[in-house]
Amino acid sequence: MSSHSSDSTTEWLGSASQKQLLQLASNITIKPGQLTVRVDGTEIAEMLTIDPDALNEEALCITSVFQIRKRGVETKLILADLPSGQDDKLIRNIAKAHSWFK
């Protein structure tokens, strides 16, 4: 794969909508604590303008562990290998609680 093709793929992935990204998935499996996404090799090959046989089959299956976090009616799926961001709402609520406690 050429550098130009890699750059355009990265650009496309960065600008793709959730619907477009989900269309690349041929199968999504959720088990307790584990999420597996199998990507459609034909779609990827077409996007990269390469022969589908040139793709590494193992690379088309992505597995990640996760945790489910609940807060009120909100549920978040936290992937283990992604850095979690700062939860500003939680920080504000903790600050309010400390203020009320005093």
For residue 70, give the H/E element and its range.
strand 61-71
pLDDT tens for the chain, residues 1 to 102: 444 455 666 666 667 777 777 788 889 998 988 889 888 888 888 877 888 888 888 888 888 888 888 888 888 777 776 556 677 777 888 888 888 877
Strands 61-71 and 74-79, sheet pairing? antiparallel
Task: Check if the beta carbon of residue 48 is closer than 8 Å to that of residue 9.
Answer: yes
Give the predicted TM-score (pTM) of the model.
Answer: 0.56
Distance between start and end Cα atoms, the chain:
62
For CA atoms 73, 79, 80, 86, give the dihedral sign: negative
